[in-house]
Structure 1
Amino acid sequence: MSNSLLRVSPSDLKMPFELKKQNSACLELYNKTDQRVAFKVKTTNPRKYAVRPASGVVPPRGSFCVTITMQAPKEIPPDYHCKDKFLVQSIVVEEGTTVKDIVPNMFSKAPGKLVEDFKLRVIYIPANPPSPVPEETEEEDSLDSDVDHEVERPSTSNSVSSNFTDCCFEHIMPCLFPVNH
């Protein structure tokens, strides 16, 4: 399903993973319309993630950054596989609508009411990935300087669960990307 209200980037949430360290990722929400669009972010695992802000209003043709912070993991999951998912819900709202006006029932689906859902999987990535090019001595480096090195990344596919709950937490690291609010 193509969303007509918001474009969510990235389409899969690539979360830096490091044992005993809290890490963050940024979701960029782009309003594709000439109207104000309210959003709400839900997750299947609200105790594991802090989402700031969990709801808001994106101005016409504007963008908004949502920071998602994963609590410090205590163990590595098998094959770095993660079953966690996020849901971004969006709806057109009237001019003058503020964050304080956003209530949960705004996103309830009803006949004639357009509520769009965008589902994202969480994919763990190494927080400090090793260099894809092995370190070489200066002599070896000059011999190999015109060779391109590519790293193939495995892809995974999961079905998306509908078991989402609201996100609301108090501690968050600031978003690292400039955003128009």
Structure 2
Amino acid sequence: MATHLLHIEPAELRFVFELKKQSSCLVQLANNTDHFLAFKVKTTSPKKYCVRPNIGIIKPNDKCDFTVTMQAQRMAPPDMLCKDKFLIQSTVVPVGTTEDDITSDMFAKDSGKFIEEKKLRVVLISPPSSPVLLPVNGDMKHDPSNEINVQKDRLPSGVENIPPPRKVSEEVKGLEPAQDMKEDRADEDIVPRQAENVGDMKPAKDDVQSNLANESEELKSKLSVMDSKLREAEVTITKLNEERRRNTQEKDLLKKELEVLKRQINTKGNQAGFPFLFVCMVALISVAVGYYIHP
């Protein structure tokens, strides 16, 4: 597939880093195709980040947002450099597919489907009110030369966020993949470029737990529905067995009545007419009477 399925904005995740404070970043996914797309978000540090939602369906030529929240950290990384990475997988799905239908098999490369994967690196920036902290001889000092002023957006939840980076020209965009490849080589120990190691990335822990909870609730509801249907089926089978038993009894009773009727008919047939001895006696009496009347 020559065209990209998703356009991701921003191209990297920027977090305003402050000790013992959470920070969030909003990512927007744009569907550039006329197909329904399913996406899934993975990270190299699932315990450090929370992604909501980490899976979803994007309609044709539509957009979808997800939020990545970095948990409060007790220590700052050296030189404010972070090697964490995120992987966004996307693939074409049939029309009418919902989030409940999304499974890990949809994003398996051995399925024969086209799976688009894009990596986003994490960038930590200092809050605008304080310069970057650099460790010098074990102590933290201010470095005015590295002070960065960033315009912040305030999210409804009160967590600070930064706006997406400005759009660059097509020529600069063409250089971004090559730059990412160099950075991937430098960080091979964290995120190898081999395809089989990409599967080691795990979704954010909270999202996995929420998905498991939702799936367990759905399974419980389905089991309750199946139990009710099973009880109804048992009641129906009991009724049918009772009707069958009654029909069998009625059939046997009709057979007995039919046999009694046949016997009665045969008995009446045998008794029809006069016995031969009775006829002979009547004939003799008639002859004797005639003889006496007409000597």
Deviations 1:112-132 (CA, angstroms, capped at 9, x unpaired): 410010001101012335586
TM-score (norm 2): 0.47
AA at the equivalent of 1:9: E
Cα distance in 2 for residues equivalent to 1:132 and 1:111: 46
Stretch of structure 1 that moved more, 10-19 or 161-170: 161-170
SS in 2 for 1:110: helix
SS at match of 1:100: helix
Residues 46 and 166 of structure 1 are in contact (CA less than 8 Å); yes or no, is this contact kept in structure 2? yes
Residue 168 of structure 1 deviates from its aligned partner by 4.1
Q: How do 1:7-156 residues align onto structure 2 when only pairs under 5 Å count? A: 7-110=7-110, 112-129=112-129
Alpha carbons of 1:75 and 1:3: their partners in 2 closer, same or farther (altered >3 Å)?
farther
State the distance in 2 between where 1:53 and 1:82 align. Answer: 23
Q: CA RMSD in A?
A: 2.3
Question: SS of 2:42's equivalent?
Answer: strand
Higher relative contact order (CA 8 A, sep 6+): 1
Percent identity of the aligned residues? 43
Equivalent residue, structure 1, for 2:183 = 158
CA-to-aligned-CA distance 1:106-147 (integer Å, 9 cap, x gap)? 1001364100100011010123355868xxxxxxxxxxxxxx
Larger Rg: 2
Shift of 1:164: 1.6
**Separation in structure 1 between the aligned mates of residue 4 and residue 42 of structure 2, nearest angstrom:** 19
Say if 1:54 and 1:168, in contact at 8 Å, map to a contact too: no
Contact preservation (8 Å) 1:3, 1:118: no
Going by fraction, where is helix more abundant, 1 or 2?
2
Structure 1 runs not aligned, ≥5 long = 134-154, 171-181
> Structure 1 residue 26: deviation in Å?
0.8
CA distance in 2, matches of 1:127, 1:113: 43
> Which of structure 1's runs of 4+ aligned residues deviate more than 2 A?
127-133, 155-158
Q: CA deviation at 1:11?
A: 1.0
Q: 1:67 to 1:164 in 2, by over 3 A?
A: same
The size of the alignment, in residue pairs, is 148
Q: Tell me, which stretches of 5 or more residues in structure 2 are unaligned?
A: 131-146, 150-178, 192-197, 208-295
1:6–1:32 contact (8 Å) kept in structure 2: yes
Give a deviation string over 1:83-112, Cα, whole Å, max 9, x none: 100000000011111110101111001364
Between the aligned partners of 2:148 and 2:81, the Cα distance in structure 1 is 21
Instruction: Tell me which amino acid in the other structure corresponds to 1:52.
Output: R
Distance in 1, matches of 2:129 and 2:92, equals 40
